[in-house]
Structure 1
Amino acid sequence: MNRRKHEEAGQRTPVDNAEHCCVGPERFSIRPMPGQVQSIARAAAILRLLASSSGRLGIGDIARSLNLPKGTAHGIIRTLQYVGFVEQDKTSGKYQLGAALLHLGTSSLDVNELRSRSINWADPLAARSGEAVRVGTLLDGKVLVVHHVFRPDDTLQTLDVGSLLPPHATALGKVLLAYDVGAANAVKQREPEPYTRRTLVTARALTRALSEVRDNGWGAEVGEMTPGEAGIAAPIRGYGGLVVGAIGLSGPVDRTCDGSGNPRPALVTYVRDAARAVSRDLGATRW
């Protein structure tokens, strides 16, 4: 019995019941209940379908899988796209889950998601700059390294993924603290460890440095963690503009800084470009 005959007979259609909507081996169940809002039930089925798919789906795929008219499926998809729950690939025109869902019910971003979205941009940053690249996020007052690309040469290097770095002495940490008042205050209240004679250990010095990060949109450290080494980092923003991580490079001062000891402008541009690219992939519309 087709949909029209169901409706003429006053019966629920398979979509109305939504008890056996499936694609491949996956099965979605949205059991009817008094007062159920049909459009929300259908939207939920579409989101589950996209979540279970190994690739992007077109309107036709979604409509067939859920036994929905194409016009209905398209209208729901358009609404989900408007609120950021669904994204459309510009090349294929097909759909996937949107970045906004990553932040639904939480103010932080899953570490694996941050890493996976950063990989495509961290490698090119290392290639362009010739320096090591790290991606980090705050964890219990420290900078957790979630991705690390080695400097593209033959020198012996150690993988830092999973390492915890001091936020006050690293470029990644300064950037993250600049946009997290609570974490910054916690660092200022304890006595930060002086790793070198250049490490910022007073609340006044750290406050000034974090203000500069916010003003410039990027941060740096020169010899504050390791003598003769410097780092440059920029914030990674997620959906809604929230800073969820940072990406940065590090290397010898004579390569990363000019004769005056300031970060080389070209490297700053490379880092900021990479941060913007990751932010776009995470659904940010401003940075």
Structure 2
Amino acid sequence: MAKNIQSLERAAAMLRLLAGGERRLGLSEIASSVGLAKGTAHGILRTLQAEGFVEQDATSGRYQLGAELLRLGNSYLDVHELRSRALVWTDDLARSSGESVHLGVVHQQGVLIVHHVFRPDDSRQVLEVGAMQPLHSTALGKVLSAYDPVAHTEAVEGDRKDFTPRTITGLAEFESVLELTRARGWAADIEETWEGVAAVAAPIHDRRRMPVGAIAITGAVERLCPAGELRSELVAAVRECARAVSRDIGAGRF
């Protein structure tokens, strides 16, 4: 029988400790809990930090789980499973709203559309599954950037291209939009990516309340914003749809 690699076992023990205990732990606490000398524990933590699995608070020196684990967790929650869980809910949302519905996940510095429900009319439409959308200007991208630290970093450090006169490209203004998104639980895109097109999106969370995707209603600006603001019933509908999918993947009621 092959032997386990001791250093990997120790690293796994540290990750489990950080996942199950206090939000942040000091080096002495971690070393004592896993039964290692402080020097050995520090070496493993330094490696985990370099790989993004652990982060160290600059002020206190205490450790917490890193954003790279979020990316791996999102991969574990397979895109096909997320899509299958969302099928009924997104179909219902398209039918009740009369507009197109998109399901998106973070992928390669953007938003990958993994499911698209056509607007329920006889108009000619193009399937957008597999298309990429920007993080900084779309409703899906803003929601993911607001809740997902990996997406946030990519949106902040990436090129925030000016698509229309309404596109927000300045960092301070963009961060303010993300703060507003977190405060109200949804994001809007009113002609910021495409002229004449508006969208509203809400986040999907897993059982640990981690963001794993987002759902958006998309349509002509004159239908979604007839009075200049997004119709409140559409905002409520997309938020309820995202909550329903979140509950289906174990997030519980919230």
| Structure 1 partner of 2:252 | 285
Partner of 2:116: 148
Report the equivalent of 2:88: 120
Mark the CA change 1:166 to 1:106 in structure 2 (over 3 Å): closer, same or farther. Answer: closer
Q: Partners of 2:102 and 2:150 in 1: how far apart?
A: 23
Kindly report which structure 2 residues correspond to 1:1-287, keeping only aligned pairs within 5 A, or say none.
106-108=72-74, 109-259=77-227, 261-287=228-254
CA distance in 2, matches of 1:106, 1:264: 36
Deviation at 1:184, TM superposition (A): 1.6
Corresponding residue pairs, total: 184
User: Scaled by the length of structure 2, what TM-score is found?
Assistant: 0.69
Shift of 1:141: 1.3
Alpha carbons 1:188, 1:202 under 8 Å: kept? no
Give the counterpart letter for 1:221 in structure 2.
D
RMSD: 1.8
Moved over 3 A (4+): none
Distance in 2 between residues matched to 1:150 and 1:182, nearest whole Å: 29
Q: How much has 1:285 moved relative to structure 2?
A: 1.7
| Alpha carbons 2:106, 2:112 under 8 Å: kept | yes
Q: Give the drift of 1:218.
A: 0.7
Instruction: Name stretches of at least 5 consecutive residues in structure 1 with no aligned partner.
Output: 1-102
TM-score (norm 1): 0.61
Q: The residue matched to 1:273 in structure 2 has which SS?
A: helix
Q: Report the Cα offset of residue 204 of structure 1.
A: 1.1
Please give the secondary structure, in 2, of the residue aligned with 1:274: helix
Give 1:106 shift: 4.5
Residue 90 of structure 2: SS of its match in structure 1? helix
Instruction: Please say if residues 135 and 151 of structure 2, whose CA atoms lie closer than 8 Å, have aligned partners that are also in contact.
Output: no
- Matched residue type, 1:240: R
Q: Secondary structure at the match of 1:241?
A: coil
Q: Which has the larger radius of gyration?
A: 1
Higher RCO structure, 1 or 2 (CA under 8 Å, sep 6+): 2
Provide the rounded CA distance (Å) in 1 between the counterparts of 2:236 and 2:97: 10
| Percent of residue pairs identical | 46
Unaligned runs of 5+ residues in structure 2 are 1-68
